[in-house]
Chain A
Amino acid sequence: MILKESQPVCHYRRTGAIRYRMWADEEFAVVYSEMSGDTHLLDSFSLEVLNCLGMEPKTARKLEGELSSLIALEDQERLPSFVESSLLQLQSVDLVTATSL
């Protein structure tokens, strides 16, 4: 019997505390990273991903579960790609790190 090696699962967590400002009827927020001192312009969904993450590592699947209520029913199929896209963006600006466990 050949056993398949299980794929490592990525866990994501925030790199540090953040502050943000968002204004009514706007799609974007400005986010300040207390760790780096950098300021970023993020879309509202990515901000929700960031707020969801906290310092405890979570998988993308868990994030999808927690964020599904934000997405319209007809777009639920696209939720995994929304989450993946946001996580990539957040990693590119060092707001999120990923570890394989």
Chain B
Amino acid sequence: MKVSELSPHGIADLLAHGDLLVKLGPFVARIKSDVSTLAADLASIYDDFQVQPPGTFADFHVEVRRERGLRRWIKPQVRFFFDGRPSFIPLPATQAFPMLEWGLNWCVAAHCHQYLIFHAAVIEKGGLAVLMPAPPGSGKSTLCTGLVMRGWRLLSDELALYDMDSGLVHGMSRPINLKNESIAVIRKFAPQAVMTKPVADTTKGTVALMRPPAESVARVDEPAHPAWIVLPKYVAESKPEMRPYSKARTAMLLAEQSFNYDLQGLCGFNAIGDLVSKCECLQFTYNSLDDAERAFERLNKGHKE
């Protein structure tokens, strides 16, 4: 059963009782919340996701709960709980849905060490995946969103789950986190995109969460073979250019952009070395999503700028 098949009252009721079990790729999250706006956002943005039957084992038990006391009424705040324990500082109640997303990201990054986890976007077409590792603010989510709205499958805009044994990359196809100017850029590029209302004054600026394409969610259990590692760089008024990038530097960047590389020891080092060896490593400079769309199509067909 999908989230879309539940009524709004049904979703709110499941959330209130902590009985909403949602499949997120390889994981299941049990979600609880007493925040009505979160229920509405979840219904809209997670509508294609599978709801699991009662009693399904959940990897994460998470809750976004309204603060008690004065903070329930005056400048209301919400707090994230993991396995019943409060985690992180409370945030304004308007940030309840982003808080859920950031909390789920933390759950995976902090616990799922069966994968080597990169801070990277991952998209796929024709069975081959592009990994885009990049520090925050590099424009990878905007680029990822643009390509996904032009037919690439979304595995993730944030967390690449690399299976060190199989060499395949997994994703969760979760909502894409857009920030600041990228919200307007994507609205213009893809007017059909479904997003939450922008939420201002978060630690990342103004954020909005975009519903992932239904096909990406439907295919979430299909891992992909990584073929390219592309380091995106948005440069205003630049010509689009895809050029080879040092494999050694790419390996260092992957290590730096990994949430759990330090925990993996020599296995992690070998895994990154193998990944970089089998992928084409490129740096992509661009100034428009239309140029990016063309450049990635050429890449997929075996050409480079």
Contacts and interface: CB of A to CB of B under 8 A. Distances in A.
A34 interface: yes
Contacts of B276: 21, 23
A26 B247 contact: yes
B266 A26 contact: no
B266 A34 contact: yes
A30 B273 CA distance: 9
Given A23-B277, A30-B273, A39 B247 contact: no
Given A19-B269, A23-B277, A28 B262 contact: no
Contacts, number: 40
Chain B contact patch, size range: 10 to 19
B266 A22 contact: no
A21 B252 CA distance: 11
A82 B175 CA distance: 51
Nearest to A39: B255
Contacts of B251: 21, 30
Contacts of B261: 39
A29 B269 contact: no
Contacts of B272: 30
Interface residues of A, number: 13
Contacts of B247: 23, 26
B248 A32 contact: no
A65 interface: no
Nearest to B269: A32
Interface string B256-281: 00000110011001101100110000
A23 B270 CA distance: 14
A26 B246 contact: yes
5 nearest CB pairs, A to B: A21-B273, A28-B248, A32-B269, A23-B247, A30-B251
17 contacts: A19-B266, A19-B269, A21-B269, A21-B273, A23-B247, A23-B248, A23-B276, A23-B277, A28-B246, A28-B249, A29-B248, A30-B255, A30-B272, A32-B266, A37-B265, A39-B255, A41-B248
Given A28-B246, A34-B266, 5 more contacts: A21-B269, A22-B248, A23-B248, A30-B269, A39-B261
